[in-house]
Amino acid sequence: MRTLLSFALAATALASNALSAQSWENRGSPATVVELYTSEGCSSCPPAEAALNNLKGNDELWTSVIPMAFHVDYWNYIGWTDKYAKPEFSKRQRQKVSQTRASGVYTPGWFINDQEWLGFFARQTVPYANGPIAPRLKASIEGKTLRVNYEGSGLFQAQYVLLAMNITTQVKRGENRGKTLEHDFVVVDFDTKIGQRSWQFALERDTVAVPSAIAVWLTPQSGGDPVQTVAGWLE
């Protein structure tokens, strides 16, 4: 009897962690992908995150602009550990800097469609525009499996993120000691695979925060502007 009860409780726990079956598709133009590399330990980052957060109320969110905040871990040694930071996010930033010959690895660091963007430091607004119309891209979630299908031909790098919203952190140490930070578009799950037409991903079962949105985008193997994108809110 205890064994059956244990199995039932385990099944209930797994079900509660699974996302609702849902799908999204885009038959039009790809959105601009905006990547901010940030850290709760960086005193220069809150203004950059505020600029990213402002996109939350944009009518063209998901269709013309897809914001995301990758929290890096190389600030953790200062005295405050950013729980949203992952070493793979720091690695991604280093790779992008190397591939695009950006000026360096730093925070806040911006990439717009795979190109370093320095306009923030000149108080410019975050730029975005739609690319050329592309074949349909569809993303479907069932349980903890994400399936991506593209009607175009060619070999592409498929990437996805799960994004958490409305996060508040009271920082007790480090450069932001005593500040209350507000985060949106926080990447809590990410993966990438090279392939053509269809991809399948196993979503992370226990993310550090409950995701509220998903974004999927395809780029050429060597990087560059997104060929097609799809994004939206999770139920």
Give the mean pLDDT of 119-143: 97
For residues 145-159, one letter each, b for 16 or more C-beta atoms within 10 angstroms of the residue's C-beta and e for the rest, the string is ebebbbeeeeebbbb
Is the pLDDT at 3 greater than 50, yes or no? no
Give the mean pLDDT of 86-90: 98
Give the mean pLDDT of 83-111: 96
Give the mean pLDDT of 122-133: 96
pLDDT of 18 reads 65
Q: What's the mean per-residue pLDDT of the chain?
A: 92
Whole-number Å distance between alpha carbons of 97 and 12 = 43
Give the mean pLDDT of 31-44: 98
Give the mean pLDDT of 163-179: 97
Q: Pick the range with the lowest mean pLDDT from 65-74, 144-153, 173-182, 217-226.
A: 217-226
pLDDT of 17 reads 52
Whole-number Å distance between alpha carbons of 228 and 40 = 31
Please give the share of the chain, as a percent, with pLDDT higher than 70.
92
Is the pLDDT at 13 greater than 50, yes or no? no
Burial of 162 from C-beta contacts in 10 A (0-12 / 13-18 / 19+): buried
pLDDT of 223 reads 84
pLDDT of 11 reads 40
Give the mean pLDDT of 149-172: 97
Please give the share of the chain, as a percent, with pLDDT higher than 90.
87
* Partners of residue 183 on adjacent β-strands: 167
